[in-house]
Structure 1
Amino acid sequence: MATLRNLKIKTSSCKRIVKELHSYEKEVEREAAKTAEMKGKGSDPYDLKQQENVLAESRMMIPDCHKRLEAALAGLKVTLVELEESDRKEGLEIKDARSTITEFAQLFQATDA
């Protein structure tokens, strides 16, 4: 049985994962710049290799976040539908969930384009 509390939790989870995704994207940019700087300076090959490993690990986290966000968004949609079917169509939590779904659906469309 879906509750407003579950809806609020799932909405917050989606928002948290998006923040995490943006954080990893920024981290990849920073690490890529640092790697390029090290290559430009002719840094020690061992240090450069370690930096490249850090960059690769950061890049691997982005697809993982996308998968988790897709799963969380699907769960949010299911919970929202269950609540709407039980005659709960208004409320702050429901409006927040709807806007979150719309916003993140646009994020996926922008990423796919």
Structure 2
Amino acid sequence: MEILMSVIAGILFMTGTYMVLSKNMIRIIIGTAIISHGAHVLLLTMAGLKTGAPPLLGLEASTYTDPLPQALILTAIVISFGVTSFFIVLGYRAYKETGTDDTEKLRGTDSYD
């Protein structure tokens, strides 16, 4: 299962990188969100996909699930939501000011190869 999750994380990173390299602002924003989802899957996979009882004091079990990776992923989700929200507002503001979301036109150069 870890191999499948590693492949999925790689596909998410590959797709996100491809979208970030485009000229459209919306695709760049979606690409950064996909890269952050790839990081979440990678964190979960690196922690190991173990099954066990929840780490509660009154529960007697032979194996427990580690809560630290889940806490790290939850924190990463909140941070990536804030960054994505900021990028959306930044892209909307740039579109309202310039009338385009093409990064080549936002650059201000005259040549569009």
Under a length normalisation based on structure 2, what TM-score does the superposition of the two structures give? 0.46
Structure showing the higher helix proportion among its residues: 1
Under a length normalisation based on structure 1, what TM-score does the superposition of the two structures give? 0.46
